[in-house]
Amino acid sequence: MKSILEKIVSGLLACSGFVTSLTIILIVLFLFSEALGLFSSKVVEDGYVLALNKSNPVAELSPREIKDVFDEEITNWSEVGGKDEPIELFRLEDAESRFTPEELGSSYEHVGACITRLVEQTPGMVAFVPRQFIVRPESVHLLADNSISPKDVFAGAEWFPTATPAPQFGFLPLIAGTLWVSFFAILFALPFGLAIAIYMSEVANPRVRNVLKPVVELLSGIPSVVYGFFGLIVIVPLLQQTFNLPVGESGLAGSIVLAIMALPTIITVSEDAMRNCPRSMREASLALGASQWQTVYKVVVPYSVSGIASGVVLGIGRAVGETMAVLMVTGNAAVIPHSILEPLRTIPATIAAELGEAPAGGAHYQALFLLGVVLFFITLLINFAVEAVSKRK
């Protein structure tokens, strides 16, 4: 009977492990399948074309050039390899100002012919219109609509997924914001966390330690939104007044909040690592005439450096993946930060803020999944670092 029960329990555990592993694999496959669809999406919005006059020699434009043209930052075709003539823009909403109601027809049945004729007669024209409104495609020049390239995504410096006619999916501002905030968070958290861990392990008496350790561990159970409210009400106004900033929401505010959130992990793991240092090593150091502090930084800390590094890397992992607290205090500006006092945006905050608004299956939706893939690889590298550090002696 006992052997049968053990086999049943063993089978249930094996089944549970298999189901869990399969679920993780399916989630990863789903993430990649949704994300990689971005590179098969077209640069210009689906169903629309960019129509030029037949005499215009420009064959294609990059997503950034298309945006600059329609933002009127590029105003002459010579700036993009064309003739020296001014660019004239046309969007579908301009039809009523360009044509009379009689020309368009009572039900707008002639709008396609009017737009096509306008492009044919205007040398510098570029029209962003639905494809069906170009009734004579052979009489105009349609810009090549290439697929979104990995270079435009991973080397792009602008995240503007709702731009028309060419959305911008540059990941650089989001990756830079994520790494920037995480780096400064660990820079702030490491000295304080290590100092508290040394105090709890080597200095504090058992009564104080028994009080401090549960309090520190309790901090890791506080919801991140509570940290976000604390940062928004206390840290953000303080930074705004201290540095005379126009707005207090900045990378520095996010770094401080994340540093506070990473402290429990760093303190707990580091303190446990230092307490595992053999008593004989401490006694040998003291017997040779070393003081208590010399023993700490010459014996205990070097012996525990593997555990301390693991705690730091785990703290980085929490900082990289944090969403709500960062979303509330960093300003949510998708720009490449040049200073820690500037607003920025991280990858998790972008996914949380925009996924609910992105049309399912569209390029914006797929770009957010690709951001999830990037975050997955960042986290994977951190986990590999934890494994490598933990195995060191």
Buried b (16+ CB within 10 A) or exposed e, 107-145: eeebbbbbbbbbbbeebbbbbbbeeebbeeeeebbebeb
Q: Average pLDDT for residues 207-226, to the nearest whole number?
A: 87
- pTM for this model (two decimals): 0.87
Q: Average pLDDT for residues 253-261, to the nearest whole number?
A: 92
Q: Same structural domain for residues 280 and 230? A: yes
The CATH number of residue 209's host domain is 1.10.3720.10
Q: Same structural domain for residues 84 and 187? A: no
Total domains in the fold of the chain: 2
- Residues 167, 67: Cα–Cα separation, whole Å: 8
Q: Same structural domain for residues 84 and 220? A: no
* Domain edge (last residue) among 148, 181, 205: 148
The answer to whether residue 197 is domain-embedded is: yes
Per the structure, the complete domain to which residue 90 belongs is given by 48-148
Q: Same structural domain for residues 62 and 194? A: no
Q: Which range, of 1-15, 252-266, 272-286, 355-369, averages the lowest pLDDT?
A: 1-15
Q: Is the peptide bond before 165 cis (omega within 30 degrees of 0)?
A: yes
Q: Same structural domain for residues 185 and 299? A: yes
User: What is the share, in percent, of the chain residues with pLDDT greater than 70?
Assistant: 98
Buried b (16+ CB within 10 A) or exposed e, 202-241: bebeeeeeeebbeebeeeeeeebeebbebbbeebbeebbe
Q: Same structural domain for residues 85 and 213? A: no
The burial of 163, by beta-carbon neighbours within 10 Å (0-12 exposed, 13-18 middle, 19 or more buried), is given as middle
Q: Same structural domain for residues 216 and 310? A: yes
Q: Same structural domain for residues 204 and 290? A: yes
* Domain edge (last residue) among 115, 132, 148: 148
Q: Same structural domain for residues 197 and 132? A: no
The answer to whether residue 91 is domain-embedded is: yes
The answer to whether residue 155 is domain-embedded is: no
Non-local (6+) Cβ contacts of 247 within 8 A are 240, 331, 343
- Residues 247, 245: Cα–Cα separation, whole Å: 5
Task: Label residue 370 by pLDDT band (50, 70, 90).
Answer: very high
- Residues 75, 99: Cα–Cα separation, whole Å: 24
Give the closest residue to 252 by CA, choosing from 173, 331, 164, 364: 331
Q: Same structural domain for residues 133 and 203? A: no
Q: Same structural domain for residues 143 and 192? A: no
Q: Same structural domain for residues 135 and 238? A: no
DSSP assignment of 237-274 equals HHHHHHHT-S-S-SHHHHHHHHHHHHHHHHHHHHHHHH
- Could you report the per-residue pLDDT of 74-90, keeping only the tens digit for each? 999 999 999 999 999 99
